[in-house]
Amino acid sequence: MSSGLVKILAIAMLSVFLAGCSDNDSNKSAEDYKEKSIDDYSKAAADIEYTKQQFNQGNYINAAEGVFHAAKNFVSSTVNEILGYIAKSKGSFILDQRNITVKKGIRGIEDIAKLFADKSKSKAIDYYSGGEYVPLGQMVLRYSSVEAEPNVNPLRQRLVATIQLHESDNKHGQAQLSLLCNGDKTVDFGIGQVNTRSWLDGSCKGMADKDIVNTATKICAEYRLNPNDFKCRYGKIINGKCELNVNAYIVELLVRSYGGEVNLVRNPTSPFNPILNARCTYRHLNEDFKTATRLFPNCKSLEAVGRFRCTGNLDSDYTAVALMAYGGLKKEWLINNARLRSGDTVIQTFDDYMAEFRSAYAALYKEPPPF
């Protein structure tokens, strides 16, 4: 499709979304956006600027239109490209490939790179913008580019997309409706997999609809209390056993309650709303940087773990620890290099974890990860 036709379509689609809008500031910013779209200079910058203006004014549909065009030309990196970028990383964490755990489908860092190359290209349904199928990598770039907070940190905004590509579950192409019922009876929501605690009590308190969060969490808690009984009450009997996917069950109930997937995702206060989810992920990440500096007050204390090197850039030095903290982190876990265990067996090391994040970043941005 030619550049000119893309611009004409963008303007036409915006005209439909903006019809009937009476706010003068909103109309003015939309007109400015149209004018900049016609020019050949800084098209992507115009998209992002328009997105920020509309989001800050609460015009969520118009904001989605801006990010839609900003991420239009996403192309995934290849496995070899990702491996090359990882090898050139100047991040503070010293990744030892010998510590990559062997598990189903993963025998080394090459398999991790392939996992995220494939995941970034996997098609996902964008319920927020018309229900089209787009590459998941394009989707996370599309919504993480929204202005999350005043004076947004560019690196942390990139980390939001990285986290979303890493965390989201895209089974059946439903990444925006990702949900995970955890063993501790909390629930992770949406493409950023933001936890119940963040929505109700943490950095995102008051941002999301409590009914959605509480309903999902209550069902999860009931399931975890007695999973076999729950499966038999609400699931199916297959080969003499009660079977039920609790995550899919919760999503289905919420979808029915809110009149369909589109309504649930586009609700401005839904934890599945990709713009709101990106804002919360950004806030969560800011708190994770504070956690990192609390665990390690200075870079020398970080180096004492034996897996880090100080670069002199504090934001860069603490990025790896902040990403670890996003998924939960205790200092002794890092010292023992055991993020997940099953009894005495380590099933995920921090080498695994950081290889995943570096692969996700490289797949999206096609440059060496700065962590």
Segment 258-275, tens digit of pLDDT: 999 999 999 999 999 999
Rounded to 5 degrees, φ, ψ at 237 are: -95, 115
Query: Cα separation of 72 and 342, whole Å?
Result: 42
Query: Cα separation of 284 and 128, whole Å?
Result: 22
The radius of gyration computed from the CA coordinates of the chain, to the nearest angstrom, equals 21
What pLDDT tens digit does each residue of the chain (371 aa) get? Answer: 433 333 333 333 333 333 333 344 444 444 443 443 333 334 445 555 555 565 555 555 565 555 555 455 677 789 999 999 999 998 899 999 999 998 888 999 999 999 999 999 999 999 998 888 999 999 999 888 665 456 778 889 899 999 999 999 998 999 999 999 999 999 999 999 999 999 999 999 999 999 999 999 999 999 999 999 999 999 999 988 999 999 999 999 999 999 999 999 999 999 999 999 999 999 999 999 999 999 999 888 989 988 999 887 877 789 999 999 998 888 889 888 999 888 888 889 999 999 999 999 999 999 999 99
Query: Cα separation of 3 and 8, whole Å?
Result: 9
25-32 own/partner pairs: CB under 8 Å, 24+ apart: 25/57, 26/54, 26/57, 26/59, 26/62, 29/53, 29/54, 29/57, 30/62
69-108 pLDDT, tens digit each:
545 567 778 999 999 999 999 889 999 999 999 888 899 9
Structure tokens at 147: 């202005």
Structure tokens at 129: 């913008």
Show me where the domains of the chain are located: 1-70, 97-122+160-177+189-198+260-365
The gap from C-alpha 264 to its chain's centroid, in whole angstroms, comes to: 18
- pTM of full prediction above 0.85: no
